[in-house]
Structure 1
Amino acid sequence: MSLTNDTAPHSHAPGRTAPGRAEGDLLTLQRTIRRPELRRIVPLADTTIYEMEQRGEFPRRFHLTPRCVVWSLAEVEIWINERRAASLANLAPRAPGPDVHLRKTRPVTR
């Protein structure tokens, strides 16, 4: 016997709310990620992420408990997509190239 979504033990019929939720609440769960998973998704140093958060350039972390800090996965994904779009449109700031005339060894000659 196969179970469909209508007969699955934890499924809810349309119009019914999940246990512990009031009628009209969002039924979607927001996934959160901790620092190790954030590091796998965003290859930036902890200090860089912290500084960007302080400037409002990166999604803010929040505390689930006094010792557990998390980020919203949806907010991080939106941030990545915005950065990708800005980069493709050549709107993302880029670091300047090195000034080869300031080299101590093998200076550029013309």
Structure 2
Amino acid sequence: MNNDTAPSPHFDRPVTVKVLREQWGIPYGDSQLLRLEREGKFPRRFKLGGRVNAWLESELAAWIKERAASRDTATVAV
């Protein structure tokens, strides 16, 4: 079996909008994602081809970690 086409452990996989919602649990609609991207509050997508867009897995993971870190530093009103 030839493993030349298998992604390396360091391969940054593309995440489509379907995967973003179903597997990453990010529920934002298309217009909200576009708005957040324009405002610099969400990773920017790129074209895979045709009408298919994707985000880099590493950028999404970093974005989620930033959200969690901000939760830990936010002050909570009692």
TM range (shorter): 0.7 to 0.9
Instruction: Give the strand-richer structure, 1 or 2.
Output: 2
Give how far 1:34 is off. 0.6
- Tell me the residue number matched to 2:51: 67
**Alpha-carbon RMSD:** 2.3
Give how far 1:9 is off. 4.7
Structure 1 spans left out of the alignment, 5+ residues: 1-7, 11-17, 20-25, 92-110
Give the partner amino acid of 1:29: F
TM-score normalised to structure 1 length: 0.55
- Tell me the residue number matched to 1:29: 11
Instruction: Report whether the alignment pairs 1:38 with 2:20.
Output: yes
Instruction: Give the helix-richer structure, 1 or 2.
Output: 2
TM-score normalised to structure 2 length: 0.75
Moved segments of 4+, more than 4 Å = none
Greater length-normalized contact order (CA 8 Å, ≥ 6 residues apart): 2
Identity of aligned residues (%): 30
Distance in 1 separating the partners of 2:34 and 2:21? 12
Give how far 1:67 is off. 1.9
Structure showing greater radius of gyration is 1
